[in-house]
């Protein structure tokens, strides 16, 4: 059985480099678009697999050329084809990614088949999920499915880690069943809603008070912050020359899950994830930027 089950999106990314991210109403001339593999779920699955995790990835793609390409890519990455579901009625998910001269990005996602992943689709995998150590999900699949699986995992003693992106308000009943949540600073503020405070530490503490066992907020070049019943821990970032931040957060989540599955403490797992994501931002692309285990020093 897989110790880590990852359920989420698979996309083909169409990336264009621009001098700066366009403002509202502005046209910016970019370079030639490049096609690569992405989707938060797939990125995190590839990261966990390359970093040594025992992973089953469950996703839905279209029965089209992009779907076949993504299927073949996951096999090439050493991930099982068992969890890839083809939907003949939907196009595969795609994303337009703008990357500016500083390596920052703006992403528009067209969900396609990802939005059609249902409870019926995952039912054949419930035994695998029940016997996993960790379940990692994001919000590029229907939130109703995420809620259902969070309940199922909680009832069966499986630790659920949620990367709440793209961010949306979540009920306290769901938050209380999460072993960990990994938002960035803006996502953390949005999750807090009208009760959001002035500092990231206060917002993380608020989410913890709503029932999340472990709140980890990624802060980009400022590192990441953990808030749990033991208090607050800050893990600094590594100083690198960033060229592309696409999939840095996904690399962090996949690496974090692998380290926790290996028995590391949260601060130790965060340090491991920080090293992995630091390497990823020195490279272009989403999955192409994800490091392998032997590269982590």
Active-site entry in 13, 121, 133, 250 = 250
Backbone dihedral angles phi then psi of residue 2, each to the nearest 5 degrees: -75, 135
Q: How many CB atoms lie within 10 A of CB 76?
A: 10
Size of the chain in residues: 297
- The C-alpha atoms of residue 190 and residue 66 are separated, in whole angstroms, by 33
Q: Are 117 and 85 in contact (CB under 8 A)?
A: yes
Q: Are 64 and 70 in contact (CB under 8 A)?
A: no
First and final CA of the chain: distance in angstroms? 29
Q: Are 232 and 224 in contact (CB under 8 A)?
A: no
Q: Does the active-site annotation cover 244? A: no
- The C-alpha atoms of residue 253 and residue 102 are separated, in whole angstroms, by 23
Q: Are 292 and 278 in contact (CB under 8 A)?
A: no
- Catalytic site residues? 250
């Amino acid at each position: 059985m897989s110790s880590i089950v990852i359920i989420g999106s698979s996309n083909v990314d169409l990336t264009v480099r621009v001098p700066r991210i366009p403002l509202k109403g502005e046209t910016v001339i970019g370079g030639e678009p490049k096609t690569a593999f992405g989707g938060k779920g797939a990125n995190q699955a590839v990261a966990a697999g390359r970093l040594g995790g025992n992973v089953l990835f469950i996703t839905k793609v279209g029965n089209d050329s992009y779907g076949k390409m993504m299927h073949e890519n996951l096999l090439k990455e050493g991930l099982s084809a068992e969890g890839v579901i083809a939907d003949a009625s939907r196009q595969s998910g795609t994303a337009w990614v703008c990357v500016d001269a500083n390596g920052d990005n703006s992403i528009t996602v067209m969900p396609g088949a990802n939005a059609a992943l249902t409870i019926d689709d995952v039912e054949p995998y419930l035994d695998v999920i029940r016997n996993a150590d960790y379940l990692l999900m994001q919000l590029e699949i229907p939130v109703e499915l995420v809620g259902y699986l969070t309940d199922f995992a909680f009832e069966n003693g499986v630790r659920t880690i949620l990367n709440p992106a793209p961010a949306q308000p979540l009920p306290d009943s769901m938050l209380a069943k999460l072993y960990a949540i990994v938002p960035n600073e803006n996502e953390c503020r949005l999750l807090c809603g009208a009760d959001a405070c002035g500092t990231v530490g206060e917002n993380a503490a608020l989410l913890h008070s709503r029932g999340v066992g472990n709140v980890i907020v990624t802060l980009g070049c400022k590192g990441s912050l953990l808030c749990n019943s033991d208090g607050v821990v800050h893990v600094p970032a590594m100083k690198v020359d960033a060229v592309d931040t696409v999939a840095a957060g996904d690399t962090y989540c996949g690496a974090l899950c692998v380290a926790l599955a290996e028995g590391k403490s949260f601060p130790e797992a965060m340090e491991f994830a920080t090293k992995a994501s630091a390497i990823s931002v020195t490279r272009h692309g989403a999955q192409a930027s994800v490091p392998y285990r032997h590269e982590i020093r």
